[in-house]
Structure 1
Amino acid sequence: MTELRTAAVTTRRRSVPLLAGGVIGAAVCTAAIAAAAADWWPNLTLVVGTLVVLGVAWGMTRRPMGRRTVLGIVGVAAVCQVPGLTAAPITSTDAYRYVWDGRVQLSGTSPYAHVPLDDALARLRDPVLFPGLSPQDSSGVTGPPRVPRDPAALAALSADDSRTRINRARVPTIYPPVAQAYFTAVAFFTPWSAGTFGLQLVAAALAVGVTALLATELRRRNRDPRWAVLWAWSPVVALEAGSAAHVDVLAAGLVVAAVVTAARRSPVITGLLLGVAASVKLLPLLLLPAFTSVRRRGATTPLVAVGTFAATYVPHVLAVGTLVLGFLPGYLGQEGFADGSSRSAILALVLPADARQVATAVLAIAVAMLAIRRHQQEPIAVTCCWLYGAALLLTTPTYPWYGLPLIALAVLAGRIEWLAVPLASYLAYASFGHEVRQGLIHLAAAAVVLTVTARRSGGCRRGRGRPAGLSLSPGRGG
């Protein structure tokens, strides 16, 4: 009896750090949502909140772990998503486009073949998505979409319209086929009057599911699963999943699943998952070099991934032909990915636009070759983490939610220094139009990553014991 009482007391004591940390994590996420909704220093709140969660994770891992730790982490992760569900999306209006695309497909029409303002789809309008345009009103927009190449005409065409909450309502969708299937599935179960809530709820559930996957995989690799709170209780994840419902959370889950299966030597399944992830958001294609080897049969995963990605487009190509490209060419041109002129904020500090374009291409090839060379020399999660993070630092995209997969990869790889990159993206997002400031912010994030990486490498070269620097495991990241 005494032994049972002692065991019960020990269990309660081990649960205290998790419960206290969970309360802090939930409070941080609530504060982040409230600050963003009120526009009260939201980016500073995100940075401080992330550092607080990092401190909580570090503190918890210094204490013995209870038997139901993973369950507790997942439970608190669900609580962290609740504040975002209480209001409409905050950081962007992308979720309204998701709702529209799903609704259009349920009607038997392709979102690649029509723009949201097209009068041919007037019957699908409702007051939530179109507060200023009823089904009986004429928008003046008809016919198949045409995306101009002229930058000025493109900017005018893609400007927001006050009659609808859908962004870029005069151009077709940009989202790939698996993302479209996801939108359709959610739309099937969501009444029109619910607006974006269905997508927010599913995105929140996906974030919790990724938490369970990360914690379980960390435990399987004999690492402390409590480090999963850096994703689970992250104010960034709360803001972009349960609140903004960004599809990037689905891409993050698929990327993590691909890395997990790759570590278990399942190249075909890995390729399928990676291809599906790329058909949710194109960025996972950047990870292909990490799964490529110069050895025989070393290209199985990339070939399956590319084949899967291409196969998802076949039904849409058969239905609408070249319209399947949607607004992608216009987006790449408008956002600067096509010519490099308005990207690479770090390189923009020292190079003119033309030289920047060449430097970006050269660096991208060098990073890809390094990832191929590092294949099987380090855990696949580590390669994917720095490869994805390097791509974000190199291209410095405008939208910070692109960094969601990087957060998950940083947790899985045990490379938390890379969390500096998505945080820098939020600060740069708030500095839109100030190119020098954006470049300096991203440069600071790169400096954090390089400093910690150098310290870790120095510790490894000295040989014994754990690597120096910020790491989530006593040895190599998984």
Structure 2
Amino acid sequence: MKLFAIWRSAAGSTLILTAFVTLAWLAQSPPVHALSFVMSMGVAWLAYALFFTSQEFSLFALRWATVCAIAVRVVGIWSHPIYEDDWARYLWDGFRFLTDGTPYGAPPLSYFDDASIAPTWRVVLAQINNPEIPTIYAPSLQYVFAASAWIAPTSLTALKLLFVIFDLGLWALVARLGGYRAGLRYALCPLVIFEISFNAHADVVGAFLTVASFALLRKGRSIEGGLAFGLALACKPFAIIIAPSFVRSRWCLVSLGAGAALVALYAPFILTGATEQAGLQHFAQWFEFNSLGFAVLKELAGDATARILGLALGCALSGALMLRWLLRERDTFPPADIWLIVLLLFAPVINPWYLLWAVTWASLRPNPISWSIFPAVSLAYLTAGIIGIADRGFYDHPVWVRPLEVFTASALYLGAVWVVPLARTIRLGKTET
């Protein structure tokens, strides 16, 4: 049995690599068929479960899993993004930052008739979604985008390489905080692999800075931890989920560091007259995608009221869970993944890559709720445009997609808390007999 468990874990990491190699091969002739996407991701998640439900890990299996985790990132870097085009906005923002001194203010649409734009940049410009809206990305991310544009203009590969560097750094941080197996729990996660190395989503930068802030504060380095926290906040407000873990730190120094980082990042853009606020305001007022609790509130109270109520409910419930942790469990790793999931439950937009901020904490402190939601959220890619429903908007969901997400997450949760423990008990009983 021990030998079987060891080889099962090795087979799991190999299957993850195989599933993503297949997906990368399919992506060479876009678009990838929706069924092929679901099957590839399904195999990857089943293989992931096969790996981590194993009770025995040999040195060979762990080393081979590390090789597979690195190899699948190399495959992802060379793959074309699947169902995603946010990378075009990233590249364009970096270009504008380098040429104009700021990526803010004018939306991409205002450059469509600009004869001074080089043909290579016109190709990128043509692929930006919602070009009439100014960028919504905050200053920390803009410096990464600018670095990519400086290293290799118009290169998606260079952008991916930068994101994978942050990804590998995050893997190292998780392994340092929680051990080698926690690191692999993050590194082999299909959601992480797909959203970073394949689809080049920038949320990995903020997730890295958030965990780096936590790690620095655990060492008593309050100012440095505050600086990292400020940099993370200047990626996306999701970084606030680790604020309760600062309770034992020197708050004045943490606040000083965070404030200094925010001032240094925002001051130059405020002085030039614009930040990401114009784009964010449009996003906050009008965008909706893959919502759950918000969709219910919208039916009951209307769109505008639902946006206010959703934010209030999400913050209140998440805050209550944070307070519970502070009072009862603050010596443990913060369950920041749960805090974020609760916050997103009532949000008007729940993109799969938002959960990159949660995977690190779920890797350090595994729980069945998060690890049931992570596989299910990728089903959000099954929009009308992807499936081929002509009479709906490209990003609209067929009526069955969100119920399918909920059903999948619920089934996985019940399997994790009931079926797997029961099967393990039966197996142990037979062994003893």
Match of 2:193 in 1: 238
Match of 1:46 in 2: 41
Three-state SS of the structure 2 residue aligned to 1:125 is coil
Cα distance in 2 between the residues matched to 1:382 and 1:453: 21
CA contact (8 A) 2:222 2:249 kept: no
Match of 1:23 in 2: 14
Mapping 1:333-352, distance limit 5 Å: 333-336=285-288, 344-345=293-294, 347-348=296-297, 351-352=300-301
1:118-153 Cα shifts (integer Å, max 9, x gaps):
349946634444249xxxxxxxxxxxxxxxxxxxxx
- State the 1:80 CA deviation: 0.6
Cα distance in 1 between the residues matched to 2:253 and 2:300: 38
1:55-102 Cα shifts (integer Å, max 9, x gaps):
11222xx22442994x65443222011222223322311111111111
CA contact (8 A) 1:271 1:303 kept: yes
Cα distance in 2 between the residues matched to 1:233 and 1:53: 7
Q: Which residue of 362, 368, 371 corresponds with 2:313?
A: 362
Q: Which stretch shifts more, 102-111 or 33-42?
A: 33-42
Q: Which residue of 74, 78, 88 corresponds with 2:70?
A: 78
1:261-297 Cα shifts (integer Å, max 9, x gaps):
3444444433322221221233223x1553364x895
Match of 1:284 in 2: 239
Q: Which residue of 186, 189, 198 corresponds with 2:148?
A: 186
Q: Which residue of 188, 191, 208 corresponds with 2:168?
A: 208
Three-state SS of the structure 2 residue aligned to 1:110 is coil
Mapping 1:159-308, distance limit 5 Å: 164-192=126-154, 195-219=155-179, 225-285=180-240, 287-291=241-245, 293=247, 301=254, 304-305=257-258, 308=261
Cα distance in 2 between the residues matched to 1:390 and 1:249: 20
CA contact (8 A) 1:218 1:412 kept: yes
Does residue 440 in structure 1 map to residue 403 in structure 2?
yes
The one-letter code sitting in structure 1 at the alignment partner of 2:149 is A
- State the 1:35 CA deviation: 5.4
Three-state SS of the structure 2 residue aligned to 1:381 is coil
Does residue 329 in structure 1 map to residue 301 in structure 2?
no
Match of 1:317 in 2: 270
Change in CA separation of 1:298 and 1:380 when aligned onto 2, cut-off 3 Å: farther
- State the 1:241 CA deviation: 1.3
- State the 1:106 CA deviation: 1.5
- State the 1:326 CA deviation: 3.9
1:188-243 Cα shifts (integer Å, max 9, x gaps):
11144xx3111112223332332232223222xxxxx2343332123322222122
Cα distance in 1 between the residues matched to 2:144 and 2:161: 13
Change in CA separation of 1:296 and 1:247 when aligned onto 2, cut-off 3 Å: closer
User: Alignment length, in residue pairs?
Assistant: 400
Match of 1:475 in 2: none
The one-letter code sitting in structure 1 at the alignment partner of 2:106 is H
The one-letter code sitting in structure 2 at the alignment partner of 1:405 is W
Change in CA separation of 1:312 and 1:453 when aligned onto 2, cut-off 3 Å: farther
Change in CA separation of 1:258 and 1:87 when aligned onto 2, cut-off 3 Å: same
Three-state SS of the structure 1 residue aligned to 2:140 is helix
Three-state SS of the structure 2 residue aligned to 1:374 is helix
Three-state SS of the structure 2 residue aligned to 1:166 is coil
Cα distance in 1 between the residues matched to 2:416 and 2:5: 33
1:394-436 Cα shifts (integer Å, max 9, x gaps):
3262421111121222112222530332333222342453486
Change in CA separation of 1:312 and 1:86 when aligned onto 2, cut-off 3 Å: same
Cα distance in 1 between the residues matched to 2:24 and 2:176: 28
Cα distance in 2 between the residues matched to 1:23 and 1:446: 25
Cα distance in 1 between the residues matched to 2:95 and 2:312: 39
Identical amino acids, percent of aligned pairs: 23
Cα distance in 1 between the residues matched to 2:365 and 2:313: 26
Cα distance in 2 between the residues matched to 1:121 and 1:307: 40
Cα distance in 1 between the residues matched to 2:112 and 2:206: 32
Change in CA separation of 1:383 and 1:304 when aligned onto 2, cut-off 3 Å: farther
The one-letter code sitting in structure 2 at the alignment partner of 1:314 is A
Cα distance in 1 between the residues matched to 2:120 and 2:237: 29
Cα distance in 2 between the residues matched to 1:435 and 1:396: 17
Cα distance in 2 between the residues matched to 1:296 and 1:249: 25
Cα distance in 1 between the residues matched to 2:238 and 2:249: 26
Output the TM-score relative to the length of structure 1: 0.71
CA contact (8 A) 2:95 2:153 kept: no
Q: Which residue of 322, 334, 351 corresponds with 1:382?
A: 334
Does residue 63 in structure 1 map to residue 23 in structure 2?
no
Cα distance in 1 between the residues matched to 2:110 and 2:294: 36
Cα distance in 1 between the residues matched to 2:326 and 2:412: 21
CA contact (8 A) 2:333 2:365 kept: yes
Mapping 1:18-167, distance limit 5 Å: 20-34=11-25, 37=30, 38-41=32-35, 42-59=37-54, 62-66=55-59, 69=62, 72-119=64-111, 122=114, 125-131=117-123, 164-167=126-129
Q: Compute the RMSD of aligned alpha carbons.
A: 3.8
* Structure holding more helix per residue: 2
Output the TM-score relative to the length of structure 2: 0.78
Cα distance in 2 between the residues matched to 1:15 and 1:288: 36
Does residue 372 in structure 1 map to residue 323 in structure 2?
yes
CA contact (8 A) 1:85 1:201 kept: yes
Cα distance in 2 between the residues matched to 1:306 and 1:44: 46
Three-state SS of the structure 2 residue aligned to 1:382 is coil
The one-letter code sitting in structure 1 at the alignment partner of 2:177 is E
CA contact (8 A) 2:206 2:233 kept: yes
Does residue 424 in structure 1 map to residue 376 in structure 2?
yes
Match of 1:408 in 2: 360
